[in-house]
Structure 1
Amino acid sequence: MNYVGMFLSGAVLFLNSLTLLGKASQKSVAFLNIIVGTLQIIFPIYLIVTSNQTNWDFYNNAAIFLFGLTFLYVGATTLMRLEGNGLGWFSLWVAIIAIVYTATSFIHFHDIVSGLNWAMWAFLWFLYFIINTTNKKIHYYVGIVACIQSWVTLTIPALLFFLGISNNPSVNQGMIYVLILSILYFVFSIVKQRISSKSEVSLTNNSRVAS
Protein backbone atom coordinates (compact mmCIF):
# COMPACT_ATOMS: atom_id res chain seq x y z
CA MET A 1 0.00 0.00 0.00
CA ASN A 2 1.52 3.36 -0.98
CA TYR A 3 2.20 6.01 1.63
CA VAL A 4 -0.24 8.62 0.30
CA GLY A 5 -2.95 5.99 0.62
CA MET A 6 -1.81 5.23 4.16
CA PHE A 7 -1.91 8.94 5.01
CA LEU A 8 -5.49 9.33 3.77
CA SER A 9 -6.54 6.07 5.40
CA GLY A 10 -5.14 7.30 8.70
CA ALA A 11 -7.39 10.35 8.56
CA VAL A 12 -10.51 8.30 7.76
CA LEU A 13 -9.80 5.65 10.38
CA PHE A 14 -9.19 8.31 13.02
CA LEU A 15 -12.56 9.94 12.32
CA ASN A 16 -14.30 6.54 12.17
CA SER A 17 -12.84 5.75 15.58
CA LEU A 18 -14.34 8.98 16.94
CA THR A 19 -17.80 7.88 15.77
CA LEU A 20 -17.40 4.62 17.69
CA LEU A 21 -16.31 6.59 20.75
CA GLY A 22 -19.32 8.88 20.43
CA LYS A 23 -17.21 11.97 19.66
CA ALA A 24 -18.39 12.54 16.07
CA SER A 25 -21.60 11.87 14.14
CA GLN A 26 -21.55 9.00 11.67
CA LYS A 27 -23.25 11.02 8.93
CA SER A 28 -20.66 13.83 9.03
CA VAL A 29 -17.78 11.33 8.83
CA ALA A 30 -19.45 9.26 6.10
CA PHE A 31 -18.62 11.85 3.43
CA LEU A 32 -14.87 11.52 4.04
CA ASN A 33 -15.26 7.73 3.81
CA ILE A 34 -16.89 8.15 0.39
CA ILE A 35 -14.28 10.63 -0.87
CA VAL A 36 -11.20 8.68 0.24
CA GLY A 37 -12.81 5.35 -0.66
CA THR A 38 -13.44 6.59 -4.21
CA LEU A 39 -9.86 7.84 -4.56
CA GLN A 40 -8.55 4.50 -3.35
CA ILE A 41 -10.52 2.75 -6.06
CA ILE A 42 -9.46 5.07 -8.89
CA PHE A 43 -5.74 5.34 -8.06
CA PRO A 44 -4.96 1.60 -7.83
CA ILE A 45 -6.74 1.02 -11.15
CA TYR A 46 -4.44 3.61 -12.72
CA LEU A 47 -1.40 2.08 -11.01
CA ILE A 48 -2.31 -1.39 -12.25
CA VAL A 49 -2.87 -0.21 -15.83
CA THR A 50 0.49 1.61 -15.90
CA SER A 51 2.43 -1.12 -14.04
CA ASN A 52 4.50 -3.99 -15.40
CA GLN A 53 1.52 -6.28 -14.74
CA THR A 54 3.53 -8.64 -12.53
CA ASN A 55 1.87 -10.61 -9.75
CA TRP A 56 3.50 -8.35 -7.13
CA ASP A 57 2.17 -5.24 -8.88
CA PHE A 58 -1.33 -6.66 -8.51
CA TYR A 59 -0.56 -7.78 -4.96
CA ASN A 60 0.57 -4.32 -3.82
CA ASN A 61 -2.23 -2.41 -5.51
CA ALA A 62 -4.93 -4.84 -4.39
CA ALA A 63 -4.12 -3.80 -0.81
CA ILE A 64 -5.35 -0.29 -1.60
CA PHE A 65 -8.64 -1.71 -2.87
CA LEU A 66 -9.21 -3.39 0.51
CA PHE A 67 -9.18 -0.03 2.26
CA GLY A 68 -11.05 1.80 -0.51
CA LEU A 69 -13.89 -0.71 -0.64
CA THR A 70 -14.16 -0.73 3.16
CA PHE A 71 -14.42 3.05 3.36
CA LEU A 72 -16.99 3.15 0.55
CA TYR A 73 -19.02 0.43 2.25
CA VAL A 74 -18.92 2.24 5.61
CA GLY A 75 -19.94 5.53 4.01
CA ALA A 76 -22.75 4.00 1.94
CA THR A 77 -24.06 1.99 4.90
CA THR A 78 -24.25 5.14 6.99
CA LEU A 79 -25.73 7.51 4.42
CA MET A 80 -28.25 4.98 3.08
CA ARG A 81 -29.08 3.70 6.58
CA LEU A 82 -28.42 0.11 5.59
CA GLU A 83 -28.15 -2.79 7.99
CA GLY A 84 -24.56 -3.41 9.01
CA ASN A 85 -24.50 -7.18 8.59
CA GLY A 86 -23.34 -6.94 4.96
CA LEU A 87 -20.48 -4.69 6.02
CA GLY A 88 -19.71 -7.12 8.82
CA TRP A 89 -19.37 -10.17 6.58
CA PHE A 90 -17.34 -8.16 4.07
CA SER A 91 -15.04 -7.16 6.95
CA LEU A 92 -14.55 -10.85 7.81
CA TRP A 93 -13.54 -11.57 4.21
CA VAL A 94 -11.05 -8.69 4.29
CA ALA A 95 -9.70 -9.86 7.67
CA ILE A 96 -8.92 -13.26 6.16
CA ILE A 97 -7.17 -11.63 3.18
CA ALA A 98 -5.21 -9.43 5.63
CA ILE A 99 -3.93 -12.58 7.36
CA VAL A 100 -2.48 -13.71 4.02
CA TYR A 101 -0.78 -10.31 3.66
CA THR A 102 0.54 -10.69 7.21
CA ALA A 103 2.09 -14.08 6.47
CA THR A 104 3.53 -12.85 3.16
CA SER A 105 5.13 -9.83 4.84
CA PHE A 106 6.84 -12.00 7.44
CA ILE A 107 7.75 -15.04 5.33
CA HIS A 108 8.39 -13.69 1.82
CA PHE A 109 9.46 -10.08 2.37
CA HIS A 110 10.91 -10.50 5.89
CA ASP A 111 9.30 -7.15 6.73
CA ILE A 112 8.44 -7.12 10.42
CA VAL A 113 6.80 -3.69 10.42
CA SER A 114 4.49 -4.49 7.50
CA GLY A 115 3.70 -7.88 9.02
CA LEU A 116 2.71 -6.32 12.33
CA ASN A 117 0.67 -3.66 10.53
CA TRP A 118 -1.27 -6.24 8.56
CA ALA A 119 -1.83 -8.35 11.67
CA MET A 120 -3.31 -5.33 13.45
CA TRP A 121 -5.51 -4.45 10.46
CA ALA A 122 -6.74 -8.05 10.29
CA PHE A 123 -7.69 -7.80 13.96
CA LEU A 124 -9.53 -4.50 13.39
CA TRP A 125 -11.47 -5.83 10.41
CA PHE A 126 -12.43 -8.86 12.51
CA LEU A 127 -13.70 -6.51 15.23
CA TYR A 128 -15.81 -4.71 12.61
CA PHE A 129 -17.23 -8.12 11.70
CA ILE A 130 -18.20 -8.72 15.33
CA ILE A 131 -19.90 -5.38 15.98
CA ASN A 132 -21.85 -5.54 12.71
CA THR A 133 -23.05 -9.15 12.92
CA THR A 134 -23.52 -9.77 16.65
CA ASN A 135 -25.08 -8.01 19.60
CA LYS A 136 -21.80 -7.66 21.46
CA LYS A 137 -21.42 -4.13 22.85
CA ILE A 138 -17.72 -3.61 22.19
CA HIS A 139 -17.98 -0.37 20.21
CA TYR A 140 -15.90 1.61 22.70
CA TYR A 141 -13.10 -0.98 22.63
CA VAL A 142 -13.16 -1.07 18.81
CA GLY A 143 -13.02 2.73 18.81
CA ILE A 144 -9.90 2.70 20.97
CA VAL A 145 -8.26 0.07 18.74
CA ALA A 146 -9.14 2.02 15.59
CA CYS A 147 -7.89 5.30 17.06
CA ILE A 148 -4.51 3.84 18.03
CA GLN A 149 -4.12 2.05 14.70
CA SER A 150 -4.98 5.20 12.75
CA TRP A 151 -1.79 6.73 14.12
CA VAL A 152 0.72 3.90 14.64
CA THR A 153 -0.02 1.89 11.47
CA LEU A 154 -1.01 4.62 9.02
CA THR A 155 -0.47 8.30 9.85
CA ILE A 156 2.92 8.11 11.58
CA PRO A 157 4.51 5.66 9.08
CA ALA A 158 3.35 7.90 6.21
CA LEU A 159 4.79 10.99 7.88
CA LEU A 160 8.09 9.20 8.51
CA PHE A 161 8.26 8.31 4.82
CA PHE A 162 7.48 11.89 3.77
CA LEU A 163 10.30 13.08 6.04
CA GLY A 164 12.68 10.57 4.44
CA ILE A 165 13.54 8.70 7.64
CA SER A 166 11.30 5.62 7.41
CA ASN A 167 14.25 3.44 6.33
CA ASN A 168 16.44 4.55 9.21
CA PRO A 169 17.29 1.40 11.25
CA SER A 170 16.65 3.15 14.57
CA VAL A 171 13.30 4.49 13.39
CA ASN A 172 12.34 1.09 12.01
CA GLN A 173 13.25 -0.58 15.32
CA GLY A 174 11.28 2.05 17.21
CA MET A 175 8.20 1.36 15.10
CA ILE A 176 8.48 -2.35 15.86
CA TYR A 177 8.45 -1.60 19.60
CA VAL A 178 5.48 0.75 19.22
CA LEU A 179 3.48 -1.82 17.26
CA ILE A 180 4.25 -4.63 19.69
CA LEU A 181 3.29 -2.44 22.66
CA SER A 182 0.04 -1.54 20.91
CA ILE A 183 -0.78 -5.22 20.35
CA LEU A 184 -0.01 -6.02 23.99
CA TYR A 185 -2.30 -3.17 25.06
CA PHE A 186 -5.13 -4.55 22.90
CA VAL A 187 -4.70 -8.00 24.45
CA PHE A 188 -4.44 -6.60 27.98
CA SER A 189 -7.64 -4.61 27.47
CA ILE A 190 -9.52 -7.73 26.34
CA VAL A 191 -8.29 -9.76 29.32
CA LYS A 192 -9.13 -6.93 31.71
CA GLN A 193 -12.63 -6.59 30.24
CA ARG A 194 -13.31 -10.33 30.50
CA ILE A 195 -12.14 -10.42 34.12
CA SER A 196 -14.33 -7.42 34.90
CA SER A 197 -17.34 -9.05 33.22
CA LYS A 198 -16.86 -12.30 35.15
CA SER A 199 -16.55 -10.35 38.40
CA GLU A 200 -19.81 -8.53 37.71
CA VAL A 201 -21.59 -11.80 36.93
CA SER A 202 -20.20 -13.38 40.11
CA LEU A 203 -21.33 -10.43 42.24
CA THR A 204 -24.79 -10.55 40.64
CA ASN A 205 -25.13 -14.29 41.34
CA ASN A 206 -23.94 -13.88 44.92
CA SER A 207 -26.43 -11.09 45.56
CA ARG A 208 -29.24 -13.26 44.21
CA VAL A 209 -28.24 -16.16 46.47
CA ALA A 210 -28.04 -13.84 49.47
CA SER A 211 -31.48 -12.43 48.79
Structure 2
Amino acid sequence: MGSVGLLYVGAVLFINGLMLLGKIPGKSAAVMNFFVGAMQVVFPTIILSQANGDPAVILGASGLYLFGFTYLYVGLNQVFGLPGEGLGWFSLFVAFVAVVFGVLQFIQVEDPLFGVIWFIWAILWTLFFLLLALGKDSLNDFTGWFTIIVAHITGTIPALLLLTGNYTTGPGEAVGLAVIGVLAILASYALSRRKMPDGTNSSVAPATSAGH
Protein backbone atom coordinates (compact mmCIF):
# COMPACT_ATOMS: atom_id res chain seq x y z
CA MET A 1 0.00 0.00 0.00
CA GLY A 2 1.33 3.44 -0.90
CA SER A 3 2.52 5.62 1.94
CA VAL A 4 0.08 8.43 1.10
CA GLY A 5 -2.87 6.05 0.96
CA LEU A 6 -1.75 4.46 4.22
CA LEU A 7 -1.67 7.84 5.93
CA TYR A 8 -5.32 8.45 5.09
CA VAL A 9 -6.28 4.95 6.12
CA GLY A 10 -5.08 6.05 9.54
CA ALA A 11 -7.18 9.20 9.30
CA VAL A 12 -10.42 7.50 8.32
CA LEU A 13 -10.03 4.68 10.84
CA PHE A 14 -9.52 7.30 13.55
CA ILE A 15 -12.69 9.10 12.49
CA ASN A 16 -14.68 5.87 12.34
CA GLY A 17 -13.47 4.74 15.73
CA LEU A 18 -14.73 8.00 17.18
CA MET A 19 -18.00 7.47 15.35
CA LEU A 20 -18.37 4.04 16.95
CA LEU A 21 -17.86 5.65 20.35
CA GLY A 22 -20.58 8.18 19.62
CA LYS A 23 -18.21 11.15 19.47
CA ILE A 24 -18.88 11.98 15.79
CA PRO A 25 -22.29 11.77 14.04
CA GLY A 26 -22.49 9.17 11.30
CA LYS A 27 -23.25 11.63 8.51
CA SER A 28 -20.31 13.80 9.54
CA ALA A 29 -17.96 10.80 9.47
CA ALA A 30 -19.38 9.78 6.08
CA VAL A 31 -17.63 12.71 4.41
CA MET A 32 -14.15 11.41 5.28
CA ASN A 33 -15.20 7.91 4.25
CA PHE A 34 -16.21 9.18 0.82
CA PHE A 35 -12.94 11.13 0.43
CA VAL A 36 -10.68 8.23 1.37
CA GLY A 37 -12.87 5.59 -0.24
CA ALA A 38 -12.78 7.42 -3.56
CA MET A 39 -9.00 7.82 -3.31
CA GLN A 40 -8.56 4.11 -2.55
CA VAL A 41 -10.55 3.21 -5.65
CA VAL A 42 -9.24 5.77 -8.13
CA PHE A 43 -5.54 5.37 -7.30
CA PRO A 44 -5.35 1.59 -7.68
CA THR A 45 -7.34 1.83 -10.92
CA ILE A 46 -4.71 4.22 -12.28
CA ILE A 47 -1.92 1.95 -11.04
CA LEU A 48 -3.48 -1.12 -12.65
CA SER A 49 -3.93 0.69 -15.95
CA GLN A 50 -0.17 1.30 -15.99
CA ALA A 51 0.97 -2.04 -14.53
CA ASN A 52 1.78 -3.68 -17.88
CA GLY A 53 0.91 -7.05 -16.38
CA ASP A 54 3.48 -6.81 -13.58
CA PRO A 55 2.21 -9.30 -10.94
CA ALA A 56 3.86 -7.43 -8.04
CA VAL A 57 2.24 -4.13 -9.01
CA ILE A 58 -1.14 -5.78 -9.55
CA LEU A 59 -0.93 -7.52 -6.17
CA GLY A 60 -0.04 -4.29 -4.39
CA ALA A 61 -2.87 -2.34 -6.02
CA SER A 62 -5.52 -5.01 -5.52
CA GLY A 63 -5.45 -4.69 -1.75
CA LEU A 64 -6.37 -1.02 -1.93
CA TYR A 65 -9.84 -1.84 -3.22
CA LEU A 66 -10.61 -3.73 -0.01
CA PHE A 67 -10.28 -0.45 1.86
CA GLY A 68 -11.83 1.75 -0.79
CA PHE A 69 -15.00 -0.32 -1.04
CA THR A 70 -15.25 -0.56 2.74
CA TYR A 71 -15.11 3.20 3.26
CA LEU A 72 -17.54 3.94 0.43
CA TYR A 73 -19.88 1.31 1.89
CA VAL A 74 -19.64 2.97 5.31
CA GLY A 75 -20.33 6.40 3.82
CA LEU A 76 -23.41 5.20 1.95
CA ASN A 77 -24.73 3.39 5.02
CA GLN A 78 -24.41 6.51 7.14
CA VAL A 79 -25.94 8.91 4.62
CA PHE A 80 -28.89 6.72 3.71
CA GLY A 81 -29.37 5.01 7.09
CA LEU A 82 -28.91 1.53 5.63
CA PRO A 83 -28.65 -1.57 7.83
CA GLY A 84 -25.12 -2.81 8.49
CA GLU A 85 -25.45 -6.52 7.73
CA GLY A 86 -24.16 -6.27 4.16
CA LEU A 87 -21.13 -4.30 5.27
CA GLY A 88 -20.59 -6.81 8.05
CA TRP A 89 -20.45 -9.79 5.72
CA PHE A 90 -18.21 -7.88 3.33
CA SER A 91 -15.94 -7.26 6.32
CA LEU A 92 -15.63 -11.02 6.81
CA PHE A 93 -14.42 -11.29 3.22
CA VAL A 94 -11.94 -8.48 3.82
CA ALA A 95 -10.66 -10.19 6.97
CA PHE A 96 -10.04 -13.44 5.10
CA VAL A 97 -8.22 -11.72 2.25
CA ALA A 98 -6.19 -9.66 4.76
CA VAL A 99 -4.84 -12.91 6.24
CA VAL A 100 -3.79 -14.03 2.75
CA PHE A 101 -2.10 -10.70 2.09
CA GLY A 102 -0.34 -10.95 5.43
CA VAL A 103 1.05 -14.38 4.59
CA LEU A 104 2.21 -13.11 1.19
CA GLN A 105 4.08 -10.27 2.88
CA PHE A 106 6.13 -12.90 4.74
CA ILE A 107 6.78 -15.42 1.97
CA GLN A 108 6.71 -13.36 -1.20
CA VAL A 109 7.23 -9.66 -0.51
CA GLU A 110 9.65 -10.27 2.40
CA ASP A 111 8.15 -7.48 4.49
CA PRO A 112 7.26 -9.18 7.81
CA LEU A 113 6.34 -5.91 9.50
CA PHE A 114 3.66 -5.21 6.95
CA GLY A 115 2.59 -8.83 7.24
CA VAL A 116 1.76 -8.18 10.88
CA ILE A 117 -0.07 -5.00 9.87
CA TRP A 118 -2.28 -7.06 7.56
CA PHE A 119 -2.94 -9.55 10.37
CA ILE A 120 -4.01 -6.73 12.70
CA TRP A 121 -6.33 -5.44 10.01
CA ALA A 122 -7.77 -8.94 9.73
CA ILE A 123 -8.59 -8.85 13.44
CA LEU A 124 -10.17 -5.41 13.11
CA TRP A 125 -12.34 -6.37 10.15
CA THR A 126 -13.39 -9.55 11.98
CA LEU A 127 -14.65 -7.33 14.78
CA PHE A 128 -16.63 -5.31 12.23
CA PHE A 129 -18.15 -8.58 10.99
CA LEU A 130 -19.13 -9.65 14.50
CA LEU A 131 -20.56 -6.24 15.30
CA LEU A 132 -22.47 -5.57 12.10
CA ALA A 133 -23.37 -8.95 10.61
CA LEU A 134 -23.94 -10.93 13.81
CA GLY A 135 -25.21 -8.05 15.95
CA LYS A 136 -22.69 -8.46 18.79
CA ASP A 137 -23.54 -5.07 20.30
CA SER A 138 -21.43 -5.77 23.38
CA LEU A 139 -18.35 -5.36 21.17
CA ASN A 140 -19.25 -1.83 20.10
CA ASP A 141 -17.04 0.12 22.52
CA PHE A 142 -14.19 -2.39 22.34
CA THR A 143 -14.25 -2.17 18.55
CA GLY A 144 -14.34 1.63 18.66
CA TRP A 145 -11.27 1.89 20.89
CA PHE A 146 -9.42 -0.82 18.95
CA THR A 147 -10.18 1.01 15.69
CA ILE A 148 -8.69 4.23 17.06
CA ILE A 149 -5.52 2.53 18.26
CA VAL A 150 -5.12 0.46 15.10
CA ALA A 151 -5.55 3.62 13.02
CA HIS A 152 -2.24 4.88 14.33
CA ILE A 153 -0.17 1.72 14.83
CA THR A 154 -0.99 0.34 11.35
CA GLY A 155 -1.71 3.54 9.43
CA THR A 156 -0.47 6.89 10.67
CA ILE A 157 2.87 5.85 12.17
CA PRO A 158 4.00 3.42 9.41
CA ALA A 159 2.94 5.98 6.78
CA LEU A 160 5.00 8.73 8.39
CA LEU A 161 7.98 6.37 8.63
CA LEU A 162 7.63 5.54 4.94
CA LEU A 163 7.22 9.18 3.93
CA THR A 164 10.36 10.21 5.85
CA GLY A 165 12.47 7.27 4.67
CA ASN A 166 12.69 5.73 8.14
CA TYR A 167 10.64 2.57 7.58
CA THR A 168 12.51 -0.65 8.34
CA THR A 169 11.21 -4.20 8.34
CA GLY A 170 12.44 -7.48 9.69
CA PRO A 171 11.64 -10.18 12.24
CA GLY A 172 12.41 -7.88 15.16
CA GLU A 173 10.11 -5.13 13.94
CA ALA A 174 7.38 -7.69 13.19
CA VAL A 175 7.55 -9.18 16.68
CA GLY A 176 7.55 -5.71 18.21
CA LEU A 177 4.39 -4.73 16.33
CA ALA A 178 2.73 -8.03 17.22
CA VAL A 179 3.36 -7.28 20.90
CA ILE A 180 1.93 -3.78 20.42
CA GLY A 181 -1.10 -5.35 18.76
CA VAL A 182 -1.72 -7.55 21.80
CA LEU A 183 -1.35 -4.53 24.07
CA ALA A 184 -3.84 -2.68 21.85
CA ILE A 185 -6.37 -5.44 22.42
CA LEU A 186 -5.85 -5.29 26.19
CA ALA A 187 -6.02 -1.49 26.23
CA SER A 188 -9.19 -1.48 24.14
CA TYR A 189 -10.83 -3.95 26.49
CA ALA A 190 -9.87 -1.88 29.54
CA LEU A 191 -11.12 1.35 27.96
CA SER A 192 -14.38 -0.27 26.88
CA ARG A 193 -15.03 -1.38 30.44
CA ARG A 194 -14.71 2.09 31.92
CA LYS A 195 -17.79 3.30 33.74
CA MET A 196 -19.13 6.81 34.02
CA PRO A 197 -20.07 8.10 37.50
CA ASP A 198 -23.67 7.02 36.93
CA GLY A 199 -22.53 3.46 36.29
CA THR A 200 -23.14 3.44 32.54
CA ASN A 201 -20.57 2.64 29.89
CA SER A 202 -18.30 5.43 28.70
CA SER A 203 -19.94 5.39 25.26
CA VAL A 204 -23.34 4.54 23.94
CA ALA A 205 -22.92 4.42 20.15
CA PRO A 206 -25.27 1.80 18.67
CA ALA A 207 -23.80 -0.97 16.57
CA THR A 208 -25.83 0.16 13.56
CA SER A 209 -23.64 3.27 13.36
CA ALA A 210 -20.45 1.25 13.10
CA GLY A 211 -18.05 2.18 10.36
CA HIS A 212 -14.45 1.39 9.36
> Is 1:51 the equivalent of 2:51?
yes
Q: Map Cα deviations across residues 93-143 of structure 1 (whole Å, 9 max, x no partner).
A: 111111100111122233221111000001111110111012322111001
What is the correspondence of 1:69-88 to structure 2 with a 5 Å cutoff?
69-88=69-88
Partner residue in 2 for 1:33: 33
Normalised TM-score (structure 2): 0.83
Partner residue in 2 for 1:149: 150
Contact preservation (8 Å) 2:149, 2:184: no
Contact preservation (8 Å) 1:152, 1:179: no
Partner residue in 2 for 1:17: 17
**Which stretches in structure 1 are left out of the alignment for 5+ residues?**
194-211
Partner residue in 1 for 2:91: 91
Give, in whole Å, the separation in 1 of the partners of 2:16 and 2:184: 20
> Is 1:164 the equivalent of 2:165?
yes
Contact preservation (8 Å) 1:95, 1:125: yes
Give the counterpart letter for 2:12 in structure 1.
V
Q: CA RMSD in A?
A: 2.4
CA 1:97–1:168 in 2, change beyond 3 Å: closer, same or farther? closer
Partner residue in 2 for 1:42: 42
Give, in whole Å, the separation in 2 of the partners of 1:36 and 1:189: 25
Contact preservation (8 Å) 2:113, 2:177: no
CA 1:59–1:174 in 2, change beyond 3 Å: closer, same or farther? closer
Percentage identity across aligned positions? 36
Partner residue in 2 for 1:203: none
Alpha-carbon shift at residue 58 of structure 1 (Å): 1.3
Alpha-carbon shift at residue 157 of structure 1 (Å): 0.7
More helix by share: 1
What is the correspondence of 1:123-142 to structure 2 with a 5 Å cutoff?
123-136=123-136, 137-142=138-143
Give the counterpart letter for 2:73 in structure 1.
Y
Which protein, 1 or 2, shows the higher relative CO under an 8 Å CA cutoff with sep ≥ 6? 2
Normalised TM-score (structure 1): 0.83
Give, in whole Å, the separation in 1 of the partners of 2:95 and 2:162: 26
Query: Which deviates more from structure 2 when the two are superposed, residues 42-51 or residues 106-115?
Result: 106-115
Give, in whole Å, the separation in 2 of the partners of 1:168 and 1:186: 23
Alpha-carbon shift at residue 22 of structure 1 (Å): 1.7
